[in-house]
Amino acid sequence: MSPVAGPLVGIVMGSDSDWPVMEAAAQALDEFEIAYEVDVLSAHRMPREMITYGEQAADRGLKTIIAGAGGAAHLPGMLASVTPLPVIGVPVPLKYLDGMDSLLSIVQMPAGVPVATVSVGGARNAGLLAARILASHDEELLGRMREFQQELNDQATEKGKRLRAKVDSGAGGSGFGFGK
């Protein structure tokens, strides 16, 4: 990716206690050498700051926002309502309800206010989705995304080979069932 003057992705969360989950988004962006910023923006405790962040994000050069929140989880949706940028919501699992409350709060958005939602605790996929969004306009990054996908394919293929070898050796070389 070409050198940039500032971050391309904003990673925000409702509380610093969400960082252990959200850090995986940052790690995914690091793998692709994508500049990002990190901050705490509580939709309920910092509404003015949250609105300002969303309104100014595009003008500051951000291209997408990853927003993680638990419980009522209004942060991703509220940001999506005030920014023209893609917002990726990460439901953060909490002590109760295993993140289902967060998931439903993020995924059930009204028409016209889209939030791309990943799985509960799926911050890594949020980072990878942000990378794909950026890759749609960056040939170098697109090439690295293709290499990443090929690596995933190679790893899965190797796991299949190892499993088949294990089953074959344990079955006296006859394999499992009738298929080979």
Instruction: Residue 68: give its domain's CATH number.
Output: 3.40.50.1970
Does a structural domain hold residue 1? no
Please give the share of the chain, as a percent, with pLDDT higher than 70. 92
Give the integer Cα–Cα distance in Å for 70 and 2. Answer: 34
Average pLDDT of the residues of the chain = 93
Give the integer Cα–Cα distance in Å for 120 and 27. Answer: 17
CB distance 67 to 126 below 8 Å: no
Amino acid making up residue 8? L
Per-residue pLDDT, averaged over 69-97, amounts to 95
Assess whether 70 and 20 both reside in one domain: yes
Residue 110 has pLDDT above 50, yes or no: yes
CA angle (156, 145, 18) in 5-degree steps:
85
Assess whether 41 and 71 both reside in one domain: yes
Residue 83 belongs to what domain range? 9-137
What domain count does the chain have? Answer: 2
Largest CA distance in the chain: 68
Assess whether 119 and 151 both reside in one domain: no
For residue 36, give every residue at least 6 positions away whose Cβ sits within 8 Å of its Cβ, in sequence order, or none.
7, 8, 9, 10, 11, 26, 29
| pLDDT value at residue 5 | 72
Assess whether 40 and 51 both reside in one domain: yes
Residue of 86, 32, 77, 36 whose CA lies nearest to 58: 86
Assess whether 110 and 66 both reside in one domain: yes
Please give the share of the chain, as a percent, with pLDDT higher than 90. 84
Does a structural domain hold residue 105? yes
Per-residue pLDDT, averaged over 79-98, amounts to 95
Provide the pLDDT confidence category of residue 149 given band limits of 50, 70 and 90: very high
Residue 2 has pLDDT above 50, yes or no: no
Return phi, psi of residue 115, to 5°. -135, 120
CB distance 153 to 16 below 8 Å: no
pTM of the complete model: 0.89
